[in-house]
Chain A
Amino acid sequence: MVASRGNNSNPARIPALGLRVLALIIISIVLMYLDHRENHLDGIRQGIGAAVYPIQLVVDAPVRLWNWLGESTTSRNQLELDLGRLRAERLLTNARLQRLSALEAENARLRALLEARSTVRDEVRVAEIMAVDANPYEHNLIIDIGSRDGVYDGQAIVDVNGVVGQVIRTGVMTAQAVLISDADHALPVEVNRNGLRTIAVGTGEIDRLDLPFLPNNADVRAGDLLVTSGLGGAFPSGYPVAVVNSVTRIPQEPFADVTATPAAALDQVREVMLIWSAPPPVVEEPDE
Chain B
Amino acid sequence: MNRDHGSRRLPVIITFIVGLMLTVMPLTESVEPFRPDWLALVVIFWAMQLPRTWSVGSAWFIGIVLDASYGTLLGQHALALCVIAFATVRFHLLMRVFPLSQLSATIFALLALYQFILFWINGVAGVSAPTMTYWAPVITGTLIWPFLFLFLSGVRYGSRSGG
Q: What secondary structure prevails in chain A residues at the interface with B?
A: helix
Tell me the residues in window 11-39 of chain B with beta carbons closer than 8 Å to chain A beta carbons.
17, 20-21, 24-27, 29, 32-33, 35
Tell me the residues in window 42-94 of chain B with beta carbons closer than 8 Å to chain A beta carbons.
51-52, 55-57, 60, 63-65, 68-76, 78-79, 82-83, 86, 89-94
Given A12-B93, A51-B65, A56-B24: A17 in contact with B17 (beta carbons within 8 A) = no
Q: Which of B56, B92, B96 contacts A24 (CB 8 A)?
A: B56
Task: Flag whether B125 is at the interface (Cβ < 8 A).
Answer: yes
Please name all residues of chain B whose beta carbon is closer than 8 Å to the beta carbon of A17 when the two chains form the complex.
55-56, 86, 89-90
Taking residues whose C-beta sits less than 8 angstroms from the other chain, chain A's interface range is 35 or more
Q: Closest Cβ of chain B: how far from A207's Cβ, in Å?
A: 9
Q: Which of B24, B91, B96, B130 contacts A132 (CB 8 A)?
A: B24
Task: Flag whether B134 is at the interface (Cβ < 8 A).
Answer: yes
Alpha-carbon gap, A137 to B83, bound state (A):
22
Contact: B78 with A135, CB < 8 Å?
Answer: no
Please name all residues of chain B whose beta carbon is closer than 8 Å to the beta carbon of A176 when the two chains form the complex.
71
Q: Closest Cβ of chain B: how far from A131's Cβ, in Å?
A: 5
Contact: B71 with A169, CB < 8 Å?
Answer: yes
Alpha-carbon gap, A52 to B130, bound state (A):
26
Task: Flag whether A196 is at the interface (Cβ < 8 A).
Answer: no
Chain B residue at minimum C-beta to C-beta distance from A49: B68
Contact: B91 with A2, CB < 8 Å?
Answer: yes
Q: Which of B21, B35, B60, B128 contacts A55 (CB 8 A)?
A: B21
Task: Flag whether B121 is at the interface (Cβ < 8 A).
Answer: yes
Alpha-carbon gap, A44 to B127, bound state (A):
22
Alpha-carbon gap, A133 to B69, bound state (A):
9
Task: Flag whether A172 is at the interface (Cβ < 8 A).
Answer: no
Given A35-B75, A52-B65, A134-B70: A58 in contact with B56 (beta carbons within 8 A) = no
Task: Flag whether A48 is at the interface (Cβ < 8 A).
Answer: yes
Chain A residue at minimum C-beta to C-beta distance from B55: A14
Contact: B78 with A28, CB < 8 Å?
Answer: yes
Q: Closest Cβ of chain A: how far from B6's Cβ, in Å?
A: 15
Please name all residues of chain A whose beta carbon is closer than 8 Å to the beta carbon of B69 when the two chains form the complex.
48-49, 52, 55-56, 132, 134
Alpha-carbon gap, A52 to B131, bound state (A):
29
Please name all residues of chain B whose beta carbon is closer than 8 Å to the beta carbon of A77 when the two chains form the complex.
none
Please name all residues of chain B whose beta carbon is closer than 8 Å to the beta carbon of A28 when the two chains form the complex.
60, 63, 75-76, 78-79, 82
Q: Closest Cβ of chain A: how far from B157's Cβ, in Å?
A: 15
Q: Closest Cβ of chain A: how far from B36's Cβ, in Å?
A: 11
Instruction: Encode contact with A along B89-105: 1 for CB under 8 Å, 0 otherwise.
Output: 11111101000000000
Contact: B71 with A55, CB < 8 Å?
Answer: no
Please name all residues of chain A whose beta carbon is closer than 8 Å to the beta carbon of B21 when the two chains form the complex.
55, 58-59
Q: Which of A9, A32, A133, A267 contacts B25 (CB 8 A)?
A: A133
Task: Flag whether B10 is at the interface (Cβ < 8 A).
Answer: no
Please name all residues of chain A whose beta carbon is closer than 8 Å to the beta carbon of B89 when the two chains form the complex.
14, 17
Alpha-carbon gap, A29 to B75, bound state (A):
7
Q: Which of A20, A36, A51, A168 contacts B73 (CB 8 A)?
A: A36
Given A2-B94, A21-B86: A134 in contact with B71 (beta carbons within 8 A) = yes
Contact: A27 with B75, CB < 8 Å?
Answer: yes
Alpha-carbon gap, A48 to B71, bound state (A):
11
Alpha-carbon gap, A184 to B74, bound state (A):
19
Please name all residues of chain B whose beta carbon is closer than 8 Å to the beta carbon of A59 when the two chains form the complex.
21, 24-26
Task: Flag whether B1 is at the interface (Cβ < 8 A).
Answer: yes
Tell me the residues in window 155-176 of chain A with beta carbons closer than 8 Å to chain B beta carbons.
168-169, 176
Alpha-carbon gap, A29 to B82, bound state (A):
12
Please name all residues of chain B whose beta carbon is closer than 8 Å to the beta carbon of A91 when the two chains form the complex.
none
Could you show 15 A-B contacts with beta carbons less than 8 Å apart?
A9-B1, A21-B83, A24-B78, A28-B63, A31-B75, A32-B121, A55-B24, A55-B69, A132-B26, A133-B26, A134-B24, A135-B72, A136-B35, A137-B130, A204-B131
> Which 9 A-B pairs give the minimum distances between C-beta atoms?
A31-B75, A48-B68, A28-B75, A28-B79, A32-B75, A9-B1, A35-B74, A21-B86, A131-B26
Taking A10-B93, A17-B55, A55-B21 as given, write out 4 further A-B residue pairs in contact, using a Cβ cutoff of 8 Å, ordered by the A residue number. A2-B90, A2-B94, A9-B1, A12-B92
